[in-house]
Amino acid sequence: MAVSSTDISSATTETEVKGRSLWADARKRFFRNYAAVGGLIVLILVGLFALFGPWIARFEIDEIDFTAIGNAAQMGRPSIETGHYFGTDDLGRDIFARTVQGTQISLLVGLVGAGIAVLVGTVYGAVAGYVGGRTDGIMMRLVDVLMAIPYMFVLILLLVMFGRSMIMLFVGIGLLSWLDMSRIVRGQTLSLKNREFIEAARATGVSTAKIITRHIIPNLLGVVAVYATLLVPLMILAESFISFLGLGVQEPLTSWGALIREGAGTMRYGTLWQLGYPLFFFVITLFGFFFVGDGLRDALDPKDR
């Protein structure tokens, strides 16, 4: 039986293997990582809690329930009937409402701080790596000098000198956390600057600024995304530590660090819920970011493709 060329071409087309892009392959590998997917689900749930929590809370963050203080039998315990889903603190304030606000502020500090660090570190490292020479040497020696300064000491000093405000907390955490990002981006830029497409752009007269913004930085998005997901929990840890010391977020605002500090101070009275709920959200959020970061790192690693 004769086989026509049409049948052969159709069979070849049916059996042809479709190629996948880097991001499509990375997305498939990421969703095969159950720990990363679990971390992503946890982060989504925490984000929904921070977003819709104010509509669920029945009390304001600074509203004092005098009945909870005077009821010695309940002692501010969690109760759906009273509307204090997480109980009350030693001053009669609703812990659920305060935990919602603490989640909002801690996530905001982490995301904004990581965003500032990623923006400054990426631009700084890309410029140093691409320009090279004496400029690269001076810029990276400056990074080495700044990394030798104790990070937490500088942050505390900034808050004490310029006031304990949210803006100073954002600026202090973000602008002091870009150093590692700049070194990572510089190393990746050095491996990209002599690639064929960069040489072609340089030969056609494309300016240095356009090469960095249109060719270098877009090819670093994978590395930057992975490091950003690992940088957010570090920002949250730094903010929580500062607030735990009493130098971060000030009343009437609150954060996870401030709530944990208040809960730790009342543990001897048996009110473990005042410490337990903020600490629970704090821990699961950190683990969620770390699992997602590890999953992205594995998914974008070309050696494992």
Residue bearing the bigger pLDDT, 52 or 247:
52
Output 169-173 pairs: Cβ under 8 A, ≥24 positions apart.
169/109, 169/239, 169/242, 169/248, 169/249, 170/109, 170/112, 170/113, 170/116, 171/116, 173/109, 173/113, 173/116, 173/235, 173/238, 173/239
Domain that holds residue 98: 27-304
Residue 91 lies in a domain: yes
Q: Is 207 among the domain residues?
A: yes
Report yes or no: 255 and 202 within 8 Å, Cβ to Cβ. no
pLDDT of residue 13: 47
Q: Look at residue 7 and tell me if it is in a domain.
A: no
Mean pLDDT of 168-179: 77
Residue 11 scores a pLDDT above 50: no
Instruction: Tell me the mean pLDDT in the region 119-128.
Output: 90
Return the bridge partners of 84, or none: 79
What is the structure's pLDDT at 17? Answer: 46
23 pLDDT band (50/70/90 cuts)? low
- In the block, tokens 């001053």 appear at 91
Query: 259: closest CA among 112, 95, 110, 51?
Result: 95
> Sorting pLDDT into bands at 50, 70 and 90, what band is 302?
low
Gap between the Cα atoms of 292 and 305, Å rounded: 18
Q: Are 281 and 256 in contact (CB under 8 A)?
A: yes
The reply to whether 1 falls in a domain is: no
Output the pLDDT for position 69: 66
Number of domains in the chain: 1
The larger pLDDT score, comparing residue 187 to residue 70, is at 187
Is pLDDT of 72 > 70?
no
Phi–psi pair at 83, nearest 5 degrees: 90, -5
pLDDT of the residue at 152: 78
Query: What would the pLDDT profile of 134-158 be if each residue is shown by its tens digit?
Result: 988 999 999 888 888 877 787 888 7
pLDDT band with cut points at 50, 70 and 90 for residue 39:
very high
Using a 10 angstrom Cβ sphere, with 0-12 exposed, 13-18 middle and 19 or more buried, the burial of residue 110 is: buried
Could you tell me if residue 14 is inside a domain?
A: no
**Residue 17: HSE in the Cβ half-sphere, 13 Å Cα cutoff:** 2
Neighbours of 150 (CB within 10 A): 9
- Residue 96 domain-assigned? yes
At 183-214, the pLDDT tens digits run 989 988 888 888 888 888 888 888 888 888 88
Pure H helices in the chain: 5-15, 22-32, 34-56, 66-70, 95-131, 133-147, 151-162, 166-175, 179-192, 196-203, 208-211, 221-244, 256-265, 273-299
* Domain contains 8: no
Task: Say if residue 257 is exposed, middle or buried (CB neighbours under 10 Å; 0-12, 13-18, 19+).
Answer: buried
| CATH number, position 179 | 1.10.3720.10
Confidence of residue 75 (pLDDT cuts 50, 70, 90): low
Mean pLDDT (the chain) is 81
Could you say which DSSP state residue 218 is in?
G
Say if 16 falls within a structural domain. no
